Structure 1
């Protein structure tokens, strides 16, 4: 039994490290830099030209704001009007939007994506959801940080939410574990029938599939949108944008994660 547990922990750590490595390898900036370096150091003039053209073309393509926005629009799960949300027993909040610094222990830092807990807090204040289930552990490989679920719990408590209306699950280190551990927690509360799954719009496809695989029936409620309405102004169609370029990294990483989860049978 102990050996099986040790084997599981080793596999878990390897999967976590592999995920972080993949995040680096799927960085479009890395691809462009590699192509440009090859254009400098390759001896063949023909190969130099091919690498230079490929690097420049990739840079122009991925920095185009219109193409980036179209990709986001195609991938993100669309928003549900607040007016359509009513009488949910719990909002299941996925973490990944907070940070912690040991030199600033007196506060919780938030990143883009804080809508993951702000929007359900709005629904709670409107009496559309009764309580929160926050799932997410420590996202760092090396540092022993405060679990992200506990960080969001602190924010909700500061926002006036009673402690009895917040349940946390702080062992998960990826989306699959979010679903599995939450499913175990929910077995203790069979009276909770209507559940709202809250995460970023780009992350909703994988999250929803994982929760369904774990046997948890939920209604998706997307937040934290990267896509925007189509606008045909020069700055949003033809002028290169560094934000569009960096956004591709997140989108490519998420699509790759979804495909890997599908292959492994996680969702």
Structure 2
């Protein structure tokens, strides 16, 4: 009985899952401004959304998707000569995720001729394959996806010969400069964090087995959760 009580508390209490997600999301920092101008495409990976026509485009995207497309637009505005490449298909017969992204981008000022769509990918690997099929000569991109997803996405692009400058977004765990208070109250938000962790760790194990690449899952607890972040220990390309 006590074994299951401990398991239940570990799953539904947030400190451990929060620490692990924080570590996972800090594999890469938000993109810096030193990306070479020769890197012409900003690739925004798909997440999710619902093409409910009476809602404005920005309201049709789920949380992760909205963070991704907004970050892609923000980066594009720093160099409007680049192209915004929007990815992911939707249900058969309905608007693709990429087209939903494009409606948001158009509303926020990105001209149509600067938007390119990839509408065949439905997993991270098929999105990479879609990119290779459409842009076979491109070997260097700016890659936008959720911070927790970024290491796996970079590994997959690298496996297909594309070098990606990471532009992570949608950081779900943030550190207040004054330190965070650990919450030991059981909650379903902790379960959602475990879902993120399992999904990414299993996904990266699959990438390692399939492509024989490093799993990219460092666990660095030396910083101490709840303290001001030590930038020297966080990786940045």
- TM-score tier by shorter-chain length is 0.7 to 0.9
Contact 1:69 1:228 in 2 (8 A): no
Find runs of 4+ consecutive structure 1 residues off by over 6 angstroms: none
Contact 2:31 2:168 in 1 (8 A): no
Q: For residues 236-257 of structure 1, what are the alpha-carbon distances to aligned partners after superposition, in whole Å with 9 as ceiling and x for unaligned?
A: 2433333122221122122212
Aligned to 1:112, which of 59, 63, 75? 63
The structural deviation recorded for 1:124 is 1.6
Note if 1:89 corresponds to 2:89: no
* Distance (Å, rounded) in 2 between the aligned partners of 1:205 and 1:249: 17
Contact 1:137 1:173 in 2 (8 A): yes
Distance 1:81 1:253, change over 3 A: closer
Structure number with greater Rg is 1
Runs of at least 5 residues in structure 1 that lack an aligned partner in the other structure: 1-48
Greater relative contact order, per chain length (Cα 8 Å cut-off, separation 6+): 2
Identify, as 1 or 2, the structure richer in helix.
Answer: 1
Note if 1:174 corresponds to 2:123: yes
| Number of aligned residues | 206
Runs of at least 5 residues in structure 2 that lack an aligned partner in the other structure: 214-237
1:44-193 matches, within 5 Å, as 49=1, 53-76=2-25, 77-85=27-35, 87=37, 88-101=39-52, 104=53, 107-108=56-57, 109-113=60-64, 114-127=66-79, 130-138=82-90, 140=91, 144-187=93-136, 190=137
Report what 2:155 is aligned to. 209
Contact 2:43 2:144 in 1 (8 A): yes
| TM-score of the two chains, using structure 1 as the length reference | 0.69
| TM-score of the two chains, using structure 2 as the length reference | 0.77
Distance 1:132 1:81, change over 3 A: closer
Contact 1:172 1:181 in 2 (8 A): yes
Distance 1:106 1:243, change over 3 A: closer
Contact 2:43 2:143 in 1 (8 A): yes
